Amino acid sequence: MRKLFAAFAAVAVALTGSVFLAPISKAADVSLTMYSWRVEDKAFYEDVIKDYTAANPGVKITYQSFPSADYQTILMSAMAAGKGPDIVHVRAYGALDQLVVPGYLSPLAANEIKGLSKYPKDALDSQRGFSDKRLFGIPFAYQSLGIFYNLDYMRKAGINLPPKTYPEFVAQLKKIKDAGLQPLANGGSTHMEQMWGTIAPMFYGGTDYYNDVVAGKKTFNDPAFVKSLEAVQELFPYMPANATAVNYDASRALFFSGKAAFFLGGIFELGYFRAQNPKLKFDFMATPPMTAGGKQFVSTWADGGYGINAKTSNRAESLKFINYLASKSYGQRFTEKIAQISAVPGVVIKDRQLNKAVSSINKGGTPYIMLVGFRYKNPTGSALLQTGLPNMLNGTKTAKQVADEVTKGVATWFAPFAGKI
Amino acid sequence: MKTASYSSEKNNLFLDGFLKFALVLNALGVFVPLLFMINSSFRNGADIYTTPLALAQGFDLTNYRLVLTEGKFLQYLSNSILVTAFSTLIVLICGAGAGYALARYQFRFNTTLYLFFLAGLLIPAKLALVPLFIQLKNMGLLDSRLGLILVYAAGAMPAAVFIYTGFIRALPADLDNAARIDGASELQVFRKVMLPLIFPVTGIVGIYTAIPIWNDFLLPLVFIRDTSKMTIMQGISVFFGEYGANWGALFAGLTLAALPLIVLYIILSSQFIKGMTAGATKG
Amino acid sequence: MTTYQRPWIFIFVTPALLLTIAFTLVPALTLLSYSLFSWQSFKRGEFVGIENFTRLMQFPFREDFLGAFQNNVLVFLTLFLVQTSLGLLLALAIYRLKRGKKFFQAIVFLPVILSLIIVAFMWKLFLDPLFGPISAIAVEFNLAWLNQPWLGQPGLALFTLIFIGLWRWVGFPAIVFLAGMNSINEEFIEAARIDGASEFQIFRKVIFPLLAPSFTIVAILTFIGAFEWFELPYVIGGVTGQPGGSTTTMALLFYRLAFGTVDSATVDVGLSSAIGVILFVFVGIGAALGSYYLRKREVQQ
């Protein structure tokens, strides 16, 4: 028992010491907090903040990032508790609306942001609520889905050029697999919506289909949509062994450690891959069309924005920082440092691979259907796909059943689907 | 009387052999994963991708350095110590007091209160998460270690009271009566007579209370947002989110998080065992 | 018991009582009230009576709820049968050891003191098909049976989680049974030996029946633990119970409805509270009934 007592005494000493370890904040400057889900970009934001605070003395900004999977929950509960950040890195469309409806965000008036009129309409619209059409954030980036490829790895299977058509892409996958190598890095456990979204628009009919569904003229039971699901099934043999248990982090790691030929995903991984393995030589392409020279479809979306907490006690200072984030110099820095497509108008992109993405968006951009149109209420189209696609791959459900489930689930809140199922 | 026949002796040998084999298997099952985790913590993340099963070359501390500095583990550790220690202290003091009163004093609500605490054993903090969340928010205790401490202490109180009451009831009342006759006040009786007597079971209650609090993840996950206030178990999940691609660092993080309890356990294993199975085992 | 000392009773009992009431009882009662209202995020709406409970039984929540309940039942049955038996086996093994009892006791119990979080994350890495050791061993030594998508196949995943849970917790019943065995009067066993009974018979007829109280405790705790399973599925399968929702337990569903998923936060606090109430009542009644029934059998022994 004496040992136990000694242990307790040691603990008591430790905790007394640890009380002094607790940070003491200075009540001098205006102190702002910023929340984000971009854990990967933490160093970048902290750098930007450092320079901003040097140029704007009297302000202190703390950047806190949270794992993407928990971010929405963390943000919502912090806001609900009245303890949210001053500057909020918000997502777009449905996820934004969840913050708008309870009034957590402060609307931004047109005259409060310099250069607001130069932003493209669809980018600004992505930062408006579903019913409350005011602006709640300034857009920060565009994203698109495409195919990363490692030509050195492909050469091992005797392939010297990236595929020019989609059938050629599948043929290359087969050739790589026959050579005993790993064609696709993508796993089938998480982030399946992304893999699907890279090839899906080509099968379901791009923007025309999107408009039809949003208007309620078509549902997800449409044969073309089912075809898009089956296309993923077609790629299953080329995914890693035991793919249904391979998660997103492992998939990315497989690609950036040079152990797979292709990775279907978002352009936002460009910076991530480069950071994880600077020595890797890889390139990015939009999903190739069905026929040579045919129409290309690129799932794209405005990724979110920077907004202000409705309950902030420092709206003026927060607004000043937001204006900085809407400035061309910031946008330029953003694009150059973390290799993403800044939404700030007038930013010049010098990065070759990013430029490829931008031009492909301009040529064949189509809304990333579930994220853009169907995340407003639960169950979201994305969640239904995320559950359904792995089930399709592991054989529990057919593509048609998955499409059915998505339609039924969305129909519980999406009025235009009423009577269609 | 019949003596054990030869065949049943052979059976006994088989039985014992089989049992010993089971123990060895269990020991391997416990050690091999832990040793693998520790081994991988000394390896470079990219190497683990290429050769998952290789042995570490020496004791490379890069991963540990990363975990302790950028990974903020020291901060998480100090928070865990703070929260666990204070919660346990509160439980020990208030629980002993309540146990003493319920065991020694005869009064109208004695049985009711005892049953009340007993019923409290049935209510897991897990299910009352949302009400607790809103309640703490209204009290301004959200995102605070004090809030955690109070919730933990309240959750552990019923079991502590239960154990203390049972233990004190079994103690003969002669000593405290003698002290009272000598003119000691109630507080003195409690301090000078009771406390030394319940010392043995205090260790058990302490461990039974402290370990689950230290190991807990759910409450900090819901109540704590500020990284400077996170406990170590919550910190692991944050760390896994940030460094998910660096397996060496991940294993180092796990090893560091497991280390404090493992070290304490090696020193005090029998107390740990007694403490953690308190109430479930007789004695 | 000694004399009636009014103010002292107050002083001694109140702190503990207040804390328990404030942070355990009040939230539990509040949970009940929450389940009777409709909610917009964390803002309470209007009184809707049992509507949350009925909504739980309709599409799309019904499937989730019943599936989760089924999973909990599976977890309980498997743990109850397998974990308890293994615990008994290990306890008997230590009990019969001539030397090294304390050593093996410590080893058997070691995983129990580890946080479920550490255990979950550790095994999550181990079971990774691309970079984890399990898969690497399977490939290296050509063990096809080991080379499965353990966490990718809906049927397999839950059992993989059960395995992990077992790995971590089997030491607990082992120690409880061991304590029970240690408290058995040696004379009974000696008498049986003299009568010529084999060790196996001794176990069946003397030891096992006298373990009834330990058995009761293990059974009740396994029941409560199984139906409140949260950490393992949360860390390994994620809040959506991947793969395909097959690792969703009731506690996970309860959490998900209250605190949301990746692309959407708070789904419905009312529904979540309804699940909480159901879970609470079910576990409470189950534990009480089980306790009562098993205690009766104990006495009979």
Q: Which residues contact residue C261 at a Cβ distance below 8 angstroms, ignoring those fewer than 6 apart?
A: A69, A72, A73, A383, C239, C240
In chain C, what percentage of residues exceed pLDDT 90? Answer: 47
At C21, the amino acid letter reads I
Give the one of A71, A80, A387 whose C-beta lies nearest to C42's C-beta.
A80
Question: Choosing among B11, B86, B93, B273, which should be mutated to test the C contact, i.e. which has the most C CBs within 10 A?
Answer: B273
- Contact (Cβ atoms closer than 8 angstroms) between residue A249 and residue A190: no
DSSP A357-405: HHHHHHHHEEE-HHHHHS-SSSSPHHHHHHHHHHHHHTTSS-HHHHHHH
Residues in chain B: 283
Question: Residue B5 pLDDT more than 80?
Answer: no
Check residue B3 and report its DSSP letter: P
**Where does chain B show beta strands of DSSP type E?**
none
Q: So what's the pLDDT on residue A14?
A: 56
Among B105, B214, B277, beta carbon nearest to C4: B105
Residue among C43, C244, C264 whose CB faces A375 most closely:
C264
- How far is Cα B241 from Cα B228, in angstroms, rounded to an integer? 16
- Written as six digits, the tokens of B204 are 């058990």
A64 vs B contacts (CB less than 8 Å): 226-227
Kindly list the distances between the CA atom of residue C28 and the CA atoms of A227, A242, A361, B120, C22, in Å, as whole numbers in the listed order.
49, 43, 53, 10, 10
Instruction: In whole angstroms, give the CA distance from residue B91 to residue B206.
Output: 8
Distance CA B51, CA B44 (A): 10
Answer whether residue C2 shows pLDDT above 50: no
Q: Where are the alpha helices (DSSP H) in C35-140?
A: 51-56, 61-78, 84-96, 101-113, 116-126, 133-140
> Is residue C4 pLDDT above 80, yes or no?
no
Q: Which residue of C has its CA nearest to B207?
A: C113
pLDDT, one tens digit per residue, over B217-243 is 999 988 887 888 999 999 998 888 888
Task: Tell me how many degrees the CA angle C155-C159-C277 measures, rounded to the nearest 5.
Answer: 95
Contact C196 B3 (CB under 8 A): yes
State which residue of chain A sits closest to C262, comparing Cα positions: A69
Of A364-378, B103-117, B135-149, the one with minimum mean pLDDT is: B103-117
Each residue of B25-69: pLDDT tens digit?
Answer: 999 999 999 999 999 999 999 999 999 999 998 899 999 999 988
Instruction: In whole angstroms, give the CA distance from residue A263 to residue A267.
Output: 11
Shortest alpha-carbon distance between residue C177 and chain B (Å): 8
**Would you state the pLDDT for residue C301?**
57
User: Please, which residues have CB within 8 angstroms of residue B29's CB and are 6 or more apart in sequence?
Assistant: C167
Question: What are C107-155's pLDDT values in tens digits?
Answer: 999 999 999 999 999 999 999 999 999 999 999 999 989 998 899 888 8
pTM of the model: 0.88
What is d(CA C48, CA C37) in angstroms, rounded to the nearest whole number? 5
Strand, helix or coil at C45? Answer: strand
Q: Which residues contact A251 (CB under 8 A, 6 or more apart)?
A: A185, A186, A187, A191, A240, A263
Euclidean distance between CA atoms B73 and B71, whole angstroms: 5
B267: which chain A residues are within 8 Å (Cβ-Cβ)? 3, 7
How many secondary structure helices (H) and strands (E) does chain A include? 18, 11
- The pLDDT, as a whole number, for residue B230 is 93
Strands A305-308 and A87-90: antiparallel
pLDDT at B283: 37
CB of C273 closer than 8 Å to CB of C35: yes
Distance from CA of A100 to the nearest CA of C (A): 12
Find out whether C149 and A250 touch, Cβ atoms under 8 Å. Answer: no
Cα C136 from chain centroid? 31
CB contact under 8 A, C42 and A378: no
What counts of helices (H) and strands (E) characterise chain C?
17, 2
For residues C128 and B240, give the distance between their C-alpha atoms in angstroms, rounded to a whole number.
14
Return d(Cα A191, Cα A198) in angstroms, integer: 12
Residue C206 carries which DSSP code?
Answer: I
Write out pLDDT tens, residues C194-203.
887 777 777 8
- Cis peptide bond upstream of A379, omega within 30: yes
CA distance C132 to A249: 13
Give the CA radius of gyration of chain B: 24
So what's the pLDDT on residue A25?
A: 45
CA distance C270 to C45: 10
Paired with C39 in beta bridges are: C44
> CB–CB of B60/B126 below 8 Å?
no
Report which of residues A234 and B167 the model is more confident about: A234
Instruction: Report yes or no: A278 at the B interface, CB cutoff 8 Å.
Output: no
The predicted-structure confidence for C27-84, as pLDDT tens digits, reads as follows 989 999 999 998 876 777 888 888 889 888 887 788 889 999 999 999 999 999 999 9
Nearest CB among B133, B142, B241 relative to A39 is that of B241
Those of residues 117-146 in B touching chain C at CB distance below 8 A are 117, 120, 122-135
CB contact under 8 A, C263 and A380: yes
B86-99 pLDDT per residue, tens: 999 999 999 998 98
Closest CA to B145 of A21, A2, C291, C27: A21
Average pLDDT over residues C208-234: 90
Helix (H, G, I), strand (E, B) or coil at C177: helix
Global ipTM:
0.89
Q: What share of chain A is helix, strand, coil (3-state, %, to 5)?
A: 50, 15, 35
Quote the CA–CA distance of C127 and C51 in Å, as a whole number: 42
Q: Per the omega criterion (within 30 degrees of 0), is the bond before C154 cis?
A: no
Q: What is the pLDDT of residue A26?
A: 45
CA-to-CA distance for C242 and C157, rounded, in angstroms? 8
Q: What is the DSSP letter of C53?
A: H
Q: Which residues of C touch A371 (CB under 8 A)?
A: 263
Distances (CA, A) of A366 to A122, A183, A208, B99, C11: 12, 26, 9, 69, 70
In this prediction, residues B176-195 reach a mean pLDDT of 78
Please state the separation of Cα B186 from the chain's center in Å.
Answer: 32
Residue numbers in B near C109 (CB within 8 A): 269, 272-273, 276
Token pair 């235009």 is found at A416
Q: Which of A282, A301, A340 minimizes the C-alpha distance to A148?
A: A282
Are β-strands A262-266 and A30-36 bridged in parallel, bridged antiparallel, or unpaired?
unpaired
Identity at C66, one-letter amino acid code: L
Q: Which pLDDT score, from 0 to 100, does residue A4 have?
A: 55
- DSSP-based three-state secondary structure for C46: strand
Q: Could you count the other beta carbons within 10 Å of the beta carbon of residue C115?
A: 23
3-state secondary structure at position C153: coil
Q: Are strands A283-285 and A141-149 parallel, antiparallel or unpaired?
A: antiparallel
Which ranges constitute the DSSP H helices of C147-207?
Answer: 154-169, 171-182, 186-194, 199-202
Task: Report the residue of chain C nearest A71, measured CA to CA.
Answer: C262
CA–CA separation, C159 and C150 (whole Å):
9
Chains that touch B (3 or more CB pairs under 8 A): A, C
Q: In which element (H, E) is residue C39 found?
A: strand C37-40
**From the list C16, C102, C198, which residue is nearest B12 (CB)?**
C198
Predicted confidence at residue A12, as pLDDT, reads: 56
pLDDT bucket at B81, cuts 50 / 70 / 90: very high
Asked if A52 and A324 touch (Cβ cutoff 8 Å), the reply is yes
Chains that touch C (3 or more CB pairs under 8 A): A, B
DSSP letter string over A40-88? TTHHHHHHHHHHHHHHSTTEEEEEEE--HHHHHHHHHHHHHTT---SEE
421 residues of chain A, pLDDT tens digit each: 555 555 555 655 555 544 454 444 444 578 999 999 988 888 899 999 999 999 999 899 999 988 777 788 778 878 877 788 999 999 998 889 888 988 999 999 989 998 898 998 888 999 999 889 999 999 999 999 999 999 999 999 999 999 999 999 999 999 999 999 999 999 988 889 999 999 999 999 999 999 999 999 999 999 999 999 999 999 999 999 999 999 899 999 999 999 999 999 999 999 899 989 999 999 999 999 999 988 999 999 999 999 999 999 999 999 999 999 999 999 999 999 988 999 999 899 989 989 988 888 888 899 999 988 898 887 889 888 988 998 999 888 999 999 999 999 899 889 899 877 6
Predicted confidence band of residue B1 (pLDDT cuts 50, 70, 90) = very low
| Cβ pair C121, B240 in contact under 8 A | yes
Contact present, B207 and B276 (Cβ < 8 Å): yes
Q: Which of residues 143-202 of B touch C (CB under 8 A)?
A: 150-151, 153-155, 157-158, 160-161, 173, 176-177, 180, 186-187, 190
Q: Give the pLDDT score at B29.
A: 96
Query: Which residues on chain A are in Cβ contact (under 8 Å) with B245?
Result: 249, 252-253, 256, 276
Determine the length of chain A: 421
